[in-house]
Chains A and B, each alone.
Chain A
């Protein structure tokens, strides 16, 4: 078992913050894709005389609210921070492994012992700051 555990640790678990970062990045990327799609539509309309003269505009989408419920097995690991090959410090970090059927079967894990993180992400009005023109 220990060998399997180490192997699973290597491929399954990631620092909690990285997992949450990727969840956030995923939403941002999705928004970017939505915008790209709308932009492409708008360009299409602009290039079509009939459509543009008819005053048709592309629809722009965004997610007013995103709810994510992440079930995961949290564990603590010391992360060694090195500088120029010398150990600077060992920091405890929360690592998480997503709870799924595979994990449950591999480790015969009781789901009732898993932690849950629920995140609600909301869209905010476009930034009021004028970015460098």
Chain B
């Protein structure tokens, strides 16, 4: 029992010592923990302090932020107003004056009246409130407030313009002269010499063409230099030519006169239609012509047959011409060897049909005298170098009694030797030359 107790005591002692050991360990642990608590408490205190500081700073910062935000808004406003200022239209002083000039001229335009009285701007005073600013190159710009913009009048500058009109010098007036009745050229010269201008207009009138019949403005009106004076000049009145074709000549002439026209040339033309009928006219019907201009007519007529007058005596031929209602035309005389005073040719030819009264030209043969034949031979172009031969020959012929034209023709038949002897020529060639020349002249005379 005792042993059991002892064992129990020992076990309990052991337990006690273990517990003591545990207790001592826990004690140490507790001490450590207590120490840690102390540290943590100190830390907590520090942290609380820090927190306090931070919350103070937070409050301060919040205040700062709100201040900065309000500053930002201010700045934004300023930026906006500055941007608006930059975009604000601005003018150079000269642009302002140009604008005013435009405005004044527009006002003058508005003042123009069609009425009795004219108005003009006597003076123009402008007091313009502007804001001035200096731009690039130190140029001054003029700015104006926006519509409805709140402005502080003290900040605005005042520009005063005062403009006065200068009356134009009065231009001396010119009295328009009376030009009616003058010739166009004199009127124009007078007008131009006076420093005026002319404009010509034409009007049909019975007044002689080229005469001034009206003028605008009227005579004695006072006008400014360079004013255009309109001169109205007469031009002949125009008439339509009537149709006269197929009318009797006398009636046509009457109508022409009734139309204030004149009868021009009246020609006859061979035609089948009744005599004295108008077969054509010039100008043609309906042509517009000046008053009193001539109208030419062609009238029909029946023709006359030309008689054959050849070989008739001149007086006989002339008598026949007159008898058949024709006229004697040119009479030409042609020297011949034979046949005196007879018609050798006529124009127009026999049997042709001509207008009554047409001229008939006649060629009448005229017998040449010995002397005339001699002169003709001597004056022949080929006879120039044979003057001596011809003189000798004609003298010899006269001596031989051959002094008539008829006889001369016969010498061509005389043999050369005989002729040479009779005429006292020395060479045969002379006879040949003489015969050749005589033949040439005779042939020409007989042609």
Per the 8 Å Cβ criterion, residues 61-116 of A in contact with B are 62-63, 65-66, 73-78, 92-95, 97, 106-110, 112-116
A75 partner, pick from B102, B120, B123, B144, beta carbons under 8 A: B144
| Segment with Cβ contacts to A, from B72-80, B150-158, B276-284 | B150-158
Secondary structure of the A contact surface, majority rule = mixed
Q: Which of B89, B123, B143 contacts A120 (CB 8 A)?
A: B123
**Which chain A residue shows the least CB distance to B95?**
A92
Tell me the bound Cα distance from A95 to B260 in angstroms: 74
Contact flag A75-B146 (CB < 8 Å), given A128-B173, A130-B221? yes
The interface on chain B, measured as residues whose beta carbon lies within 8 A of the other chain's beta carbons, has a size of: 58
In the bound complex, what is the Cα–Cα distance between A108 and B162 (angstroms)? 30
Is B114 interfacial (CB-CB < 8 Å)? yes
B127 to chain A, nearest CB (A): 4
Inter-subunit contact B144/A128 (CB<8 Å): no
Interface flag for B269 (CB, 8 Å):
no
Contacts A5-B147, A20-B110, A74-B144; is A128 near B117 (CB within 8 Å)?
Answer: no
Cα distance A123–B146 when bound, in Å? 37
Cα-based distance from A115 to B131 in the complex (angstroms): 12
Q: In the complex, what distance in Å separates the CA atom of A25 from the CA atom of B221? A: 31
Bitwise interface map of B from 91 to 120 toward A, beta carbon under 8 Å scored 1, else 0? 100011001101110111111111111111
B216 at the interface (CB under 8 A from A): yes
Are B147 and A115 interface neighbours, CB within 8 A?
Answer: no
Query: Judging by beta carbons under 8 Å apart, are A110 and B152 in contact?
Result: yes
B: which residues have CB within 8 A of A? Answer: 88-91, 95-96, 99-100, 102-104, 106-129, 143-153, 156, 167, 170-171, 173, 216-217, 221-224, 227
* A residues neighboring B (CB under 8 Å): 1, 4-5, 8-9, 12-13, 16-18, 20-28, 31-32, 35, 60, 62-63, 65-66, 73-78, 92-95, 97, 106-110, 112-130, 133
Given contacts A35-B116, A122-B120, 19 further A-B contacts (CB under 8 A): A16-B103, A17-B107, A24-B107, A24-B108, A31-B116, A31-B117, A35-B115, A65-B122, A78-B89, A92-B99, A110-B150, A118-B126, A121-B119, A121-B121, A124-B117, A126-B117, A129-B223, A130-B222, A130-B223
